Each structure stands twice: as C-alpha cells, then as structure tokens.
Amino acid sequence: MLRILGGPKRLCDGITRRDLLHAGSIGLFGLNLAEWNTAFATSTDASRVSAGFGRAKSCIMIYLYGAPSQLETFDPKPDAPAEIRGELGTISSIVPGLNVCEGLRRMAGLMDRVTVLRSVTHQYPIHGVAFATTGIPQMELAMELAPRDSRHWPFIGSVVDLIDEQNQPRAIPEVPRNLMLPWSFSTQRVGEIPRAGPYGGFLGGSYDPVATQFVGKGTVKAHKTLTTMVWDDVEPYRGISPESRFQLSAVSEPPPGLTLDRLDRRRDLLGQFEDVRRLGENQLHAASADRHRALAYSLMHSDRLRRAFDLGAESESTRDLYGMTLLGQACLNARRLVEAGGRFVSVFWDEYGLAGTGWDTHWDHYDRMRNELLPGLDRTLSGLLIDLDRRGLLDETLVLVLSEHGRTPKITPGQGGGRDHWSRCYSVVMAGGGVTRGNVIGRSDKIGSDPVERPISPKDILATTYHLLGIDPKTEIRDRQGRPSTLTPTGEVIAEAIA
C-alpha cells in the first residue's frame, strides 16, 4: 500500500489527495501502464517468413509537405504538350530508361540506389498527412485541421514506438524510438491552425514523436504569397548559418540551481506516483503523463543522445555534402540519430512563415522549384544516400521520400504559374533497408494523370515499411473503445520493392 508523507490536501470534491493517490495506486480495471499498452496491439506473426522481414534496423522518413509535382521530380513527361510538361527539362539517369527532372542532377547519378514508385494513388486530394502516414482507411476534410480528433489513427513512427516498447517493456531507450525534426509539425507558420498528421492518434499524446527545436537562423530571403497575403523574410529551407543546431528541451542543460542529483531525488519521489491513474476516461491521460515523465528523465541522462545532436563533430565536407539548409542539416542529424540507435526519425520539409508554402506550389511554381525546392531536395537526398552507403548503413536504414499527393498535370496560369492538388497519380521514392536498387514500379499515363500499371496505395507503402522494420502489418491494434483493426487494414506489402 502506497502512502506519501505529508499533510492531507482536500480536493474540491471532498476527496483528500492522499486518498486519491491510494485509490490510484490500485489501478483502474487492474491495468498498470505496461498492461494498458499491451491491450493495444497483438501480432499475428504471419509475415515474418516472407522476404525482407526485419531487414531495416531503422527508418529515416523525409516528408515533403504540400506535395511535389510528379512531373518535375521523378516522373517527367518530355513528350507531353507544353501546358503539361512545363518549363523544366528532362535528363537521363544512371539507370537506362529512368529519366528525372533536370533539377535533380545529383540524384540522376544515384538512381541505381533507389526504387521509384510511379503509380501511387488515392481519392483524397487534400493535405492529408494523416492519411499518408497512418493506417486510417478513410479521411474527412475537416480532420485535416483537427490534429486531436478522436478518430485519428496513430502515426507510423508512433506505432513502431508502441510495438518496440511491448517487445522490450522495461527498457527506456537512450535515443527515442520516434523522433521528428526540425520542429513539431505545422508549428512555424501563420495563416491557419496546425494540421493533423504525425501524432499518437488514439494511442494518446505520449506516443507523439519527440520533436526537436531548431536553434539557428536562416540566411536567404524569400518572397512568398498566399492569395492576398505576402511574406518576405529569411527562409531556413533555402539556407541556415553553420552554427545552427537542433536540440531537445529534455536534453538541454538544466535550469540554474537544478542539478542532475536533484532531478534524481525528484524522480524518486515521482516514482511513488507510478501507479496513480485518473478515474474513468482520464486513465489514458495519466498513463501518457507517466510515459512522458519516464522518457524525459531518461533523456536528461543520455550522453549518447547529446552526442548525436552535436553537428560540430561532423567534418565540413560532410556537412556540405548535405547542404547548409534546414532540410540538409536535419537529415544529417537524422543520420547521426539512427547511428546512435534511433529507430524511426522523421524529417519534415514543412511550411515556414506562411501557410500554403512548403511544396504546395499553387503560385510561383517555377521560381520556387528552380531556386528552392529542387536544389534543396537534390543535394540533401543525394548526400544522405551517399553518406549512409559509405558508412555501411544504407542496407540497414530504410529511407522514404513521400508526401500526401501529387500536383495537377495541367499548369494553372498567373502568379508565376502553379499546379494544384492531384491525388490520382504521384511518385514516392524508397531506398536502403531491404529495398531493391535501380527499380521502377508502376507506370503513369502520358501526362502523369493516372496509373496505367500497378496502382499503389499509400497504405501499401506503410505496410511495406512495417514489414521491412520487422513489424507484421497485420498486427492487430485497438482504439480507445477497444475496437480491433490491423495496422494497415487496406494495405499490402509491395513485393516488387523488396530485394
């Protein structure tokens, strides 16, 4: 029986704080935190016998928010009419017959290390980050701007975190299993509320990715427009200062006067609250608080994690390989994190300063593709693949480059030209971690409008990612009401993508 010394504190409902602690220590419904988590997922083990299962020790996901044009990245159409093919040309790659946009000259020499999926398709032409990165079978437009809608499913990194935690229930890793750079998604823009996507969904907030903070400054000014709104300021995705860094608040130095010894003593006291649970529907929130607390204390003591964030330990040539941009240095840090033991690291090319930016090129399409988007992606992705390969990490690190949809085949006039939302056909790139090399899967029509061969769902990509990470995509997961479903109920492993 747990008792805390000190005078009783009477709460507003007449129950003393001491009695509440005692009642909470019993555990509502007899579930402690580990048992509560275990109630969420059970594996069928069905896919473990098939090729590639568990080949990837970790995953780096590069998410291009806003959605790049398939025609001006990995599926150009040089023979299409001018209003389709646009102003940017097409170049050959090292793989015969695999052409790419002229803005991807570095990647053209590395296409023998990747697999391109050219026929990804679904029915939601919205900024559905949640649809692209979770197992949710259907999406409503209103949910896009409701990150905490109770109907949301957990982000793929959150599921990886949960499953790994169940496999090692007493081990708190020195490096979080589910990390996000450069900041919490959709928090550095003005114009709209944060968008849904990379969150714990019905697993609760404690399974949100652990997000970094960007500490630095941009070096290149940019001009952005959103209908009548205009934004002129420095754009870190175009360039940052060499001193710029990423950090977790939990691993920064303690406040003055708060030593690690004092933190340890506080942890001993907090440990007495370990089994406290709020009554009724709030039990999950109490479990989340406990999990956050345990993780925070673990990170405070993690020298391995601190070293992983020390970009100054890298040579100037390596930092230059990735590019001195926000995406470049975030991906370099992601490599350092998986090298240190990180499991799922997400790097978002997010909106910055103004909503409707990122890769959402309704306006100023060609200027942004030429001067910001393609150069940034080309340098960073090529640098990451080269660096992982030369360190012997590419075969065990899955690299995903994906987004929520593509862009319209036909260019819209005005404001520098633009392409609007298009989910009927777009491209995704996979590399490393058990993925085939120099491979193209699927084919689009003559204008990049629709698949004509091997349609692929975003859920197929998720299922393949789970499989390569050693997680059966048919693992059963339960929502807050205890209703069961599989991780990807509508997705299947893409067999042609597995080496």
Q: How does pLDDT run across 100-131, given as a tens digit for each residue?
A: 999 999 999 999 999 999 999 999 999 999 99
Contacts of 38 (CB under 8 A, 6+ apart): 166, 169
Q: What is the pLDDT of residue 37?
A: 46
Question: pTM for this structure?
Answer: 0.85
For residue 43, tell me if it sits in a domain: no
Same domain (yes/no): 226, 358: yes
For residue 92, tell me if it sits in a domain: yes
Mean pLDDT of 132-138: 96
What are the pLDDT digits (tens) for 71-80?
999 999 999 9
- Three-state secondary structure readout of 116-156: EEEEECCCCCCCCHHHHHECCCCCCHHHHCCCCCCCCCCEH
Q: What is the pLDDT of residue 483?
A: 86
Same domain (yes/no): 191, 322: yes
Same domain (yes/no): 377, 284: no
Which residue, 308, 334, 350, sits at the end of a domain?
A: 308
For residue 274, tell me if it sits in a domain: yes
For residue 26, tell me if it sits in a domain: yes
For residue 189, tell me if it sits in a domain: yes
Domain, as residue range, for 262: 1-30+258-308
For residue 253, tell me if it sits in a domain: no
Length of the chain measured in residues: 499
Distance of alpha carbon 241 from alpha carbon 284, whole angstroms: 42
Mean pLDDT of the chain: 84
Q: Token pair 């001018």 is at which residue? A: 82
Same domain (yes/no): 476, 456: yes
Binned at pLDDT 50, 70 and 90, residue 348 comes out as very high
Q: What is the pLDDT of residue 287?
A: 55
Same domain (yes/no): 127, 6: no
Same domain (yes/no): 284, 316: no
Q: What is the pLDDT of residue 152?
A: 94
Same domain (yes/no): 238, 349: yes
Q: What is the pLDDT of residue 211?
A: 95
Binned at pLDDT 50, 70 and 90, residue 192 comes out as low
Percentage of residues in the chain having pLDDT higher than 90: 67
Same domain (yes/no): 277, 217: no
Contacts of 8 (CB under 8 A, 6+ apart): 16, 17, 18, 19
486, β-bridge pairs: 476
For residue 39, tell me if it sits in a domain: no
What are the pLDDT digits (tens) for 28-67?
233 334 334 444 566 555 455 588 999 999 999 999 999 9
Pick 363 or 131 by higher pLDDT: 131
Mean pLDDT of 4-9: 32
Same domain (yes/no): 13, 102: no
Whether residue 400 is predicted with pLDDT greater than 50 in this model: the reply is: yes
Mean pLDDT of 483-493: 93
Whether residue 408 is predicted with pLDDT greater than 60 in this model: the reply is: yes
Mean pLDDT of 145-161: 94
Q: How many domains does the chain have?
A: 2
Binned at pLDDT 50, 70 and 90, residue 355 comes out as confident
Q: What is the pLDDT of residue 219?
A: 95
What are the pLDDT digits (tens) for 285-315?
555 556 666 666 667 678 899 999 999 999 9
Which tokens in the block code for residue 19?
Answer: 């009695």
For residue 100, tell me if it sits in a domain: yes
Residue 316 has, within 13 A of its CA and on its CB side, a CA count of: 2
What are the pLDDT digits (tens) for 20-34?
333 333 332 333 343
Same domain (yes/no): 126, 244: yes
Q: Give the pairing of strands 213-215 and 245-247.
A: antiparallel
Same domain (yes/no): 169, 268: no
> For residue 124, what is the domain's CATH number?
3.40.720
Please provide the DSSP assignment of 415-473 as one string: TT-B--EE-SSEEEEEESTTB-SSEEE-EE-TTSSSEEE--B-HHHHHHHHHHHTT--T
Q: What is the pLDDT of residue 273?
A: 39
Binned at pLDDT 50, 70 and 90, residue 1 comes out as very low
Same domain (yes/no): 166, 292: no
